[in-house]
Amino acid sequence: MYCLFRVVLCIVCVYVLFVLCRSLYCLCVYVLFVLCRFLYCLCVYVLFVLCRSLYCLCICIVCFVSFSLLFVCICIVCFVSFSVLFVCICIICFVSFSVLFVCICVACFVSFSVLFVSFSVLFVCICIVCFVSFSLLFVCIRIVCFVSFSVLFVCICSLYYCHRVATQLQLTNISYHLLRKGPSGFKSKRLTNKNIAESET
């Protein structure tokens, strides 16, 4: 799309320059023609008035031929110079537009490359930060769970051990009391053992 725009713009510039150069060329040619004709008429009139002879007629013919040749040479020089100027302007316009297009393309490519690299680096940094944070969170949760379960397990073991020690001390205390009462306390001892067995179950 931009290449089409550039081609159209170059064509328009070339056409405008061509019309301008042609107008300038035509104006110069017309002015030179009017000037030469005026000078020729003036010379012819002066010579004809001063001397009406064959010599004057020859001089007039020579002047006419010389002014005609001068006019033709000037027209050729003007045409060549305007043609060369037009070609040079067209080449300069084409080169300048090409250089401008290349510079714009390079600038766009560099800017988009820098933008892509910056967004890629930002995305990688965000991914790394998220991964590290989630990893640390997972490790912390595992450590907290392990510590809490370990403490709970130790508490349960301690409670179980305390219960067993208390039961053992209670049995030892009951046996001690039964031994102190003597043989009269065998019946109560059996009942107490039976109660202890029921309480253990």
Across 124-128, average pLDDT: 93
49: number of Cβ within 10 Å: 9
pLDDT class of 3 with cuts at 50, 70, 90: low
What is the value of pTM for the model shown? 0.37
Q: Summarize pLDDT for 136-149 with one digit per residue, the tens.
A: 999 999 999 999 99
Domain that holds residue 20: 9-136
Residue type, 136: L
Q: Phi and psi at residue 52, in whole multiples of 5°?
A: -100, 75
Domain membership flag for residue 2: no
List Cα–Cα distances, 65 to 38, 46, 62, in angstroms: 15, 17, 5
Domain membership flag for residue 94: yes
Pair of tokens at residue 4: 């089409």
Pair of tokens at residue 80: 């060549």
Q: Give, in degrees to the nearest 5, the angle at Cα 34 between 28 and 40.
A: 130
Spatial separation of the C-alpha atoms in residues 184 and 92, rounded to whole Å: 136
In this predicted structure, what is the pLDDT of residue 132?
92
Question: Residue 2 belongs to what H/E stretch?
Answer: helix 2-50
Pair of tokens at residue 172: 């030892």
Least confident of 48-52, 70-74, 142-146: 48-52
Spatial separation of the C-alpha atoms in residues 137 and 2, rounded to whole Å: 53
In this predicted structure, what is the pLDDT of residue 54?
65
Q: Summarize pLDDT for 94-123 with one digit per residue, the tens.
A: 888 889 889 988 998 999 899 999 999 999
In this predicted structure, what is the pLDDT of residue 191?
47
Domain membership flag for residue 190: no
In this predicted structure, what is the pLDDT of residue 154?
92
**20 or 82, which is more confident:** 82
Across 26-52, average pLDDT: 73
Domain membership flag for residue 166: no
Pair of tokens at residue 79: 């045409």
Q: Is the pLDDT of residue 182 over 60?
A: no
Across 37-57, average pLDDT: 70
In this predicted structure, what is the pLDDT of residue 195?
53
Domain membership flag for residue 163: no
Question: What is the tally of structural domains in the chain?
Answer: 1
Residue type, 152: L
Domain membership flag for residue 21: yes
Across 42-71, average pLDDT: 75
Domain membership flag for residue 74: yes
In this predicted structure, what is the pLDDT of residue 137?
93
Asked whether 48 and 6 are in contact (CB, 8 A), the reply is no
Spatial separation of the C-alpha atoms in residues 129 and 52, rounded to whole Å: 111
Across 35-58, average pLDDT: 71
In this predicted structure, what is the pLDDT of residue 94?
86
Domain membership flag for residue 30: yes
- Counting residues of the chain whose pLDDT is more than 70, the rounded percentage is 69
